[in-house]
Structure 1
Amino acid sequence: MAKFFNNAGPVKADMNYHIDPLTRIDWDEVYDLILQQRYFILHAPRQTGKTSSLIAMMHALNKKEDFTALYVNIEGAQAARGDVEAGISAVCSAFARSASLYLNDPDLEPWIRATVKEFPAEDRLSSILAAFSMRLEKPLVLMLDEVDALVGDTLISLLRQLRAGYEQRPKAFPQSLVLCGVRDIRDYRIHTSHNEIITGGSAFNIKAASLRLGNFTEDESKDLWLQHTKETGQVFDEKIFPELWEDTKGQPWLVNALAHELTWNNKEARDRTKPLFLEDYFAARERLIQSRQTHLDQLTDKLKEPRVSRIIEELLQGEELPDTVFGKISTDDQQYVEDLGLITTKPQIAISNRIYREVIPREMTWLAQTRIVQESLWYTKEDLSLDMTKLLSAFQQFFRENSESWIERFDYKEAGPQLLMQAFLQRIINGGGRVNREYGLGSRRTDLFLEWPLDKEKGFFGPVQRVVIELKILRKGLENTIKEGLEQTTDYADKTGAGEAHLVIFNRNPQIPWEEKIWNKTMNHGKWTMGVWGS
């Protein structure tokens, strides 16, 4: 059977290229926790490989013959919301199906369903786990997946019933329990039907450890792709792999989805004799970003949460938010955003990978892009290059006429000027060129790198115009801002190999008239001559 890259659901080893799920966790630590009869958390961002790892753990434990291990996905109980009767019934039903499927005992499911009916919902799960554990010859290791999909009183009842049976382990309750989800249990904010807010930590204070499933390493990402070469003979240009790492930082869904886009959705590449080059990869990356697939859609949906938006907005504008906003950010908030996979904090806080850096501003300004009336044809010279002077002059006028109304529509108003510039450029570049973005807390800037093909037939395989645009907010005087901006812009232009560079400075002081805000000049810094623009 031909193998494919997996971009949906748990790994199937016979169908999918994959990294062994058990190598992605600290198996010795997990096994020690099980031997010590611990209840613990395994969490990771969506589509990281949690389910694949849990199922692999179950099979590995069952092969050891020391335990009976069982994986149960309880996501179906989410629909019950705060209805404890319906929610706990759904959990028990999922438990019955999994026990019958994975333990290969046809009598289990009818026995469990008959036993369930004897108990009220508030005691049903703990009773069934007690009866089931005593029925087994070996201690039970239970893995509950998608626990944090549950909400309200259903989730509280689940956690409290698990806690209630804890003292009965291992004879009359699971010896060890793994709760799995996107978030660590400390980040559960459970709203009861009586409008109480209960944290997961207080409802489940028997947690011994929280383990986080990490991304692929750089070597694992490359090895996964090279499984395709070994299987089919199709060769990847070595230049692709450093770009793959920067684009994904090993996020498993992204690594697989990019490979699937490149090797399968690109129908020409289904001819496995065709080698795949760097520009083929870049084209696949752009198609993936524009596809707005579920993973990317879920990612951007999280940006609407206040706990998330305050931190991401800092990063988009490259500096800390005002004290009135920054004071609302807690350590738990930052940890929550990191647990979602949106940011990393080592060696410094930053958006997790280059694709997320690209997707986030695009999604946040998507409505603006569709309503901005601009065409690349208006700014194209006879040699097919972009007339950047004409383009940036047009942006100045657009910003003057529209910034107040557009920025007011953005959720992230502090980063509004940077976002509006990116929406304007994206509207012009779409379908022809590329806009690459860099920003990080403390840099006090947003770096944009434009690539524009100069030969329509050859596209990015031919000559390409490369332009750096650096965006800064005027904070500490125009002279100092220009000085700092020139140094940063030239550094970035040297780094990217650009042929042209521009510095755009936004003055957000409402007391300054537009006649003073709008200006441009040509300035020199080292070997560079660049445009400096006020907006």
Structure 2
Amino acid sequence: MRRFCTSGPVDKKTCYYVERPDIMKEALDHIENWRYFTVSAPRQSGKTTLLKDIVEKIKDKYLPIFISFESYGEKGKIEFLRTFVKDINRSLKGLYGKIIDLTIPGSIDDIRNLIEEITEKEGKEIILMIDEFEKFENSKLMNQFLHVIRNIYHDRKIYGLRSVILISVGYLSGILEDNASPFNIAEHLEVPYFTKKQVYDLLNQHETETGQIFEEKVKELIWHNAAGQPGLTNGLAYDLVMKKAKGEKIITEKHFEKTLYDYMRVYIDKNISNIINKAKKEKELMMKILFEPNNIEFNIYDENIKFLYINGVIDNCEGICCVKVPLYYKALYARFKPQINGEKSQMKPFDESIKKYLNKDGSLDLNKLMKRYIEYIKSRGAVMFKGRNYYEGVYQYNLDQFLSLYVEAADGKVYPETQIGGGRIDLLINLNNKEYLIEIKANIDEDQYEKSKKQLKEYIKRKGIKEGWLIIYSNTIKDFEYNLEKENGIKLHIWFIKTNFENPSKI
């Protein structure tokens, strides 16, 4: 019986596998047309699995040679050439069960002779695939190697080197520009994350083979939280099947909540750990992307943005830097959030109960809870806000932490940055099967205020509910204020939160 694989490349015989016909066709078209191209995707995105699948499809017609530069590091010329030939034979042995007697080149330029030798002995055109290409750190030899590939490209039909595919975790443009400016022959192919349909197909394979069913809501949650990232998608499904719901017929939302909790607080997931480690190298920029949403324009020629992008931390969301994968966002949000330790006892005193903020039907009286929040801000605002250049996300985190203390006491959840249709709501409360949408803004002008209301109304309509909350933090207003606006059956609860307080020493 197959399973969800959490490390690649994926073996179709033992793992659930998603076909990717569009990108497969594009790659095969490049090969048929004698194209040399690069392939990029963050780790655990399925690129090596895809390339292995390509090998299987072309091995009878062509001679695919699949090697990795992962351990090449700073190898010198002699060691590089010797290892290169050995890796070629390892690839051929693994695919065809044979080894060719090959001459080890005496120089980098003699790789051309090596290619000719292989073509003549095997009688097939070669497809050379090099994984982890960026791990070859000897820039001088890399430069020479790329020049040889370019020289072969001009006479590729004579050499029989039909296609060269360079594979990496990020765009190779920087490496190619820095090390071999003449290497401008390669096209680029990017391996995307799974689509929603592909995620559901993956989960359906398990249902068909085992009879164990994912609730529809759980499928949606897996898709939403991993955003189709193959490693995370398989990881969440594996944890549900093998740990949280093992032996049970139906995988429920309760099971998923336990899995999500462990991913956020217990497990050391390699995908998330890698994202956090990369983000820490650009901490200042990462803070702005997280806590000044919609303000950092995407520019691939900015080296800091480029670093985060090619390592899968951020993405380009209609010209703005964003974190597309909600699980990554939540992990980064928790890692970089402002520290306000010691505030919990101020937010929710020991003798304060959630019951006073619940209606008889179990629904949350959010406006009553917001009044309690204002009491907290009035008592602590001078400490929390005065003299601090706060990003919008800092206010979001403050409110998030406050609401979570109360909502979680009633077995509810507060979710930051939750996707709704084509956008994201800042906070979403889920309590007793009812959802509450909260949009947060800071120091906005009149035009931005009107735009914010319109945005919240769209989110409310997409969710099919009747009301939402707009919380506006401002350092110019004189006092706290609440407004209620009604339009076409929709209620907007608008709270203005004062942030300009006297220095604590003056109080």
Fold conserved between structures, TM > 0.5: yes
The SS at the match of 1:320 is coil
Q: Gaps spanning 5+ residues in structure 2: where?
A: 359-363, 500-507
The letter of the residue matching 1:447 is D
Q: CA deviation at 1:4?
A: 1.2
Aligned to 2:482: 522
Selected match of 2:67 from 72, 78, 81? 72
Q: Distance in 2 between matches of 1:31 and 1:382?
A: 62
Q: Shift of the alpha carbon at 1:486?
A: 5.2
| Offset of residue 49 of structure 1 | 0.9
Decide whether aligned partners of structure 1 residues 309 and 98 sit closer, same or farther in structure 2, where only a CA change above 3 A counts: farther
Q: 1:360 aligns with which of 318, 332, 352?
A: 332
Equivalent AA in structure 2 for residue 474 of structure 1: N
Cα distance in 2 between the residues matched to 1:286 and 1:329: 34
Write the deviation string for residues 106-157 of structure 1: whole angstroms up to 9, x where unpaired.
x43xx45xx33x524x447555444434432211111111112333515434
Corresponding position: 1:148 with 2:149: no
Q: Is the 8 A contact 1:451 1:466 kept in 2?
A: yes
- 1:52 to partner: Cα distance: 0.8
Residue aligning to 2:54: 57
Q: Does residue 33 of the first structure (1) align with residue 45 of the second (2)?
A: no
Q: Assess if the C-alpha contact under 8 Å between 1:317 and 1:445 holds in 2.
A: no
- How far off is 1:10 after superposition? 0.9
- Superposition pairs for residues 60-459 of structure 1, below 5 Å? 60-63=57-60, 66-78=61-73, 80=74, 90-105=83-98, 107-108=99-100, 111-112=101-102, 115-116=103-104, 119-120=106-107, 122-123=108-109, 128-151=114-137, 153=139, 155-172=142-159, 174-188=161-175, 198-199=177-178, 202=181, 204-207=183-186, 209-266=187-244, 269-272=245-248, 274-290=249-265, 291-304=267-280, 310=285, 313-314=288-289, 316-321=291-296, 330=301, 340-341=311-312, 342-345=314-317, 350-365=322-337, 368=339, 371-374=341-344, 378=349, 380-382=353-355, 387-391=369-373, 393-394=375-376, 400-402=382-384, 414=391, 417-418=394-395, 420-421=397-398, 424-425=401-402, 428=405, 433-438=412-417, 447-451=426-430
Larger mean Cα displacement after TM superposition, 384-393 or 135-144: 384-393
**1:75 alignment partner AA:** E
Distance 1:416 1:303 in 2: 17
After TM superposition, give the deviation of residue 257 of structure 1 in Å: 1.7
Q: Distance in 2 between matches of 1:485 and 1:128?
A: 64
Residues 185 and 201 of structure 1 are in contact (CA less than 8 Å); yes or no, is this contact kept in structure 2?
no
Deviates more, 1:328-337 or 1:285-294: 328-337
The equivalent of 1:470 in structure 2 is: 439
> For 1:503, which of 431, 450, 471 is the aligned residue?
471
SS in 1 for 2:344: coil
Q: 1:264 Cα shift?
A: 1.5
Give the length in aligned residue pairs: 475
Task: Specify whether residues 241 and 170 from structure 1 end up closer, same or farther in structure 2 by C-alpha distance, changes over 3 A only.
Answer: same
Stretch of structure 1 that moved more, 128-137 or 50-59: 128-137
2:467, 2:493 within 8 Å by CA — same for their partners in 1? no
Distance in structure 2 (CA, Å) of the matches to 1:286 and 1:228: 23
**Cα distance between partner residues in 2 of 1:163 and 1:533:** 62
CA distance in 2, matches of 1:390, 1:439: 25
Output the amino acid matched with 2:335: E
Equivalent residue, structure 1, for 2:17: 18
How far apart in 2 are the matches of 1:155 and 1:235? 50
Deviation per CA, 1:29-55, whole angstroms, max 9, x where unpaired?
433332332211122232111111111
Give the drift of 1:377.
5.6
Aligned residue identity for 1:140: I
- 1:48 alignment counterpart: 45
For the structure 1 residues 319 and 224, does the alpha-carbon distance in structure 2 shift closer, same or farther, using more than 3 Å as the test?
closer
After superposing the two structures, state which structure 1 stretch, 382-391 or 198-207, moved more: 382-391
Structure 1 residue 363 displacement after superposition? 2.6
The whole-number CA distance in structure 1 between the counterparts of 2:437 and 2:130 is 49
Given the superposition, is the C-alpha separation of residues 13 and 327 from structure 1 closer, same or farther in structure 2, using an over 3 Å criterion?
closer
Could you tell me how far apart the structure 1 residues matched to 2:321 and 2:169 are? 20
Structure 1 residues 255 and 351: CA distance shift in structure 2, 3 A: same
What's the CA shift string for 1:267-322, capped at 9, x where partnerless? xx1114x212234334323433333411112223333455x97588357523335x
Corresponding residue SS for 1:177: strand
Q: What is the Cα-based RMSD across aligned positions, in Å?
A: 4.1
Partner SS state of residue 77, structure 1? coil
Structure 1: how far apart are the matches of 2:261 and 2:185? Answer: 46
**Where does residue 456 of structure 1 map in the other structure?**
none
Aligned-residue offset at 1:501: 3.3
Counterpart code for 1:434? K
CA distance in 1, matches of 2:146, 2:327: 36
* Match of residue 5 from structure 2: 6
* 5+ long unaligned stretches in structure 1: 190-197, 408-412, 453-462
Instruction: Give, as a single letter, the amino acid of the residue that structure 2 aligns with 1:229.
Output: E
Between stretches 37-46 and 235-244, larger displacement belongs to 235-244
TM-score by length of structure 2 reads 0.78
Do the aligned partners of residues 178 and 500 (structure 1) sit closer, same or farther apart at CA in structure 2, a change above 3 Å counting?
A: closer
- For residues 34 and 484 of structure 1, what CA distance do their matches in structure 2 show? 49
User: Contact (CA 8 Å) 1:240, 1:277: kept in 2 or not?
Assistant: yes
**Distance in 2 separating the partners of 1:218 and 1:444:** 16
Partner Cα distance (1:88, 1:406) in 2: 58
**Greater CA deviation, 372-381 or 355-364?**
372-381
Instruction: Call closer, same or farther: CA 1:50–1:444 in 2, change over 3 Å.
Output: closer
What secondary structure does 1:7 align onto?
coil
Answer whether contact 1:76 1:91 (CA < 8 A) is retained: no
Report the 3-state secondary structure (helix = DSSP H, G, I; strand = E; otherwise coil) of the residue aligned with 2:34. Answer: coil
Aligned letter for 1:215? Y
2:404–2:414 CA contact under 8 A, matched in 1: no
Q: Determine what percentage of the aligned residue pairs are the same residue.
A: 19
> With structure 1 as the length reference, what TM-score do the two structures score?
0.74
Q: Residues 533 and 51 from structure 1, CA distance in 2 versus in 1: closer, same or farther, beyond 3 angstroms?
A: same
Counterpart-to-counterpart distance in 2, 1:93 and 1:372: 60
